[in-house]
Structure 1
Amino acid sequence: MYLICLGLFIYATAYLIGVKKNRWLLSGFNRGRVRDKEKLTRMLAMYNLISSVTLVLIGVINQPRFIYLIFLIVIGYVGLYFYANRKM
């Protein structure tokens, strides 16, 4: 149940970042160094959308063998953080 709630929260975050363009939600990223803020917004919104769908599906299926996907999502966020702060 908690994975479904977390997935819905991340989906709402993806909506606010991608559609409503609320860039204040990108607090962990160094927005002063990022040259293309629109690309960062699109990239984070898409990753949040994919993560939210994955978490909701894991919560609905409720199989313990899919728990490793949560660690992959966290590793993806860390990789996205370093990519955005160093390359963009």
Structure 2
Amino acid sequence: MVHIGLMFIGFVLILLAYLVGIEKLTWLLSGFNQRRVRDNEKLARIVGVYNLLVGIVLVILSFLFSDSSEEAGIGLALSIVALGYVLLAIYVHATMVDK
């Protein structure tokens, strides 16, 4: 069996990686004022790559955590992903956003 929730989130993140990383639709990123970002190209590349990696990992995990008895592993994986997004937002705000 496959964990449908993780797979769905993974595919949504892969789609977001394409839209942000390739199509440069940075307006999809909440919390960023595009006029204050110094380098939209770099922002799109960084966020796109991170979303792609996380999406692929979640799709792989959807096959590993197939039954509901492994919800602790799913919670840990999603917590690590959330921490990664927080660290990514801190990095982008510190290095790429005008004060």
Give the alignment's TM-score, normalised by structure 1: 0.88
RMSD over aligned Cα atoms: 1.5
Deviations 1:9-63 (A, max 9, x none): 1111111111111121123223232211111100000000001011111111116
In structure 2, what is the Cα distance between the partners aligned to 1:11 and 1:34? 23
Q: Deviating runs (4+, > 3 A) in structure 1? A: none
Which residue is 2:52 aligned to? 49
Matched, 1:33 2:41: no
CA distance in structure 2 between the aligned counterparts of 1:59 and 1:3, rounded to whole angstroms = 5
SS of 1:87's partner is helix
Verify: 1:3 aligned to 2:6, yes or no.
yes
What is the aligned length? 88
**How many percent of aligned residue pairs carry the same amino acid?**
39
In 1, Cα distance between equivalents of 2:50 and 2:62? 18
Query: Which of residues 67, 88, 91 is equivalent to 1:83?
Result: 91
TM-score with structure 2 setting the length: 0.79
- Whether contact under 8 Å (1:30, 1:85) holds in the other structure is no
Deviation at 1:8, TM superposition (A): 0.5
Q: Which residue of 1 aligns with 2:78?
A: 70
Unaligned runs of 5+ in 2: none
2: CA distance between counterparts of 1:82 and 1:25?
18
Partners in 1 of 2:32 and 2:65 — Cα distance?
Answer: 33
